[in-house]
Amino acid sequence: AAGVIQSPRHLIKEKRETATLKCYPIPRHDTVYWYQQGPGQDPQFLISFYEKMQSDKGSIPDRFSAQQFSDYHSELNMSSLELGDSALYFCASSSNWEGSHEQYFGPGTRLTVT
Amino acid sequence: QKEVEQDPGPLSVPEGAIVSLNCTYSNSAFQYFMWYRQYSRKGPELLMYTYSSGNKEDGRFTAQVDKSSKYISLFIRDSQPSDSATYLCAMSANLPGTASKLTFGTGTRLQVTL
């Protein structure tokens, strides 16, 4: 079965640079979530989109922005990167139109800021 | 205090043992409960999804929810070395019109030894 696709899988950036992370949800899933997971920590919710509209916002810095496009893929844009932004970034998708609350995660993007 | 509490372990058991993993929560709005398995540096894999209080079984896994006590459990029968991973409980509320974020426990690291 098709899963959530994330790209790139690894990204190395320097401080103050920008990064763009991409997420392709499971086909027919209309909802995308972004989570950040620091070393040894549980995933923390950043932001979600339902039917291309921002749905909920968590602890996402103002330096970060995201959107969901007409084909339901999503991009997380991160600017003025800081050392503390180094983490695993996961995208998850679900099918809200089916009333499902199950979220399926992608393999993640490992961001390293040097 | 975190909304979801989970013993971080590590928990070490011999192969073939029954494993019991638990989480407690404080937010009465949580209605959907999930267990994820996460191998090192990989994306969380959905194992079990439950809505109502009671038991749900899938192969060697049984999920139990007690909403009155705000307590959920995951049991793994006949544990295998391949079950060695971090197990994360996660839960979400049902907020109309929004894509409900997941709130995670800290994860329990499980080691199944030969």
Q: Which residue of A has its CA nearest to B102?
A: A45
Residue A41: the pLDDT is: 92
Q: How confident is the model at residue B74 (pLDDT cuts 50, 70, 90)?
A: very high
Shortest Cα–Cα distance, A45 to chain B (Å): 7
Residue A98: the pLDDT is: 67
Q: Which residues of B touch A87 (CB under 8 A)?
A: none
- Return the sign of the alpha-carbon dihedral for residues A104, A110, B2, B5: positive
SS3 B49: strand
Q: Which residues of A touch B9 (CB under 8 A)?
A: none
Q: Which residues of A touch B49 (CB under 8 A)?
A: 101-102
Q: What is the pLDDT of residues B12-42, one digit of tens each?
A: 999 999 999 999 999 999 999 999 999 998 9
Kindly determine whether residue B100 and residue A107, on different chains, have CB atoms separated by under 8 Å.
no
Q: Which residue of A has its CA nearest to B39?
A: A107
Cα of first residue to Cα of last residue in chain B, in angstroms, is 37
H-assigned helices in chain B: none
Residue B41: the pLDDT is: 87
Contact, A83 vs A75, CB < 8 A?
A: no
Kindly determine whether residue A94 and residue B36, on different chains, have CB atoms separated by under 8 Å.
no
Mean pLDDT of A70-98: 94
Q: Which residue of B has its CA nearest to A57?
A: B101
Q: Which of B46, B51, B107 sits opposite A104 (nearest CB)?
A: B46
Q: Which of A42, A45, A106 sits opposite B43 (nearest CB)?
A: A106
Q: How confident is the model at residue B100 (pLDDT cuts 50, 70, 90)?
A: confident
Angle CA B83–B88–B92, to nearest 5: 140
A58 interface with B at CB cutoff 8 Å: yes
Mean pLDDT of B56-67: 96
What is the DSSP secondary-structure string of B76-102?
A: ESS--GGG-EEEEEEEEE--TTS-PPP
Kindly determine whether residue A105 and residue B49, on different chains, have CB atoms separated by under 8 Å.
no
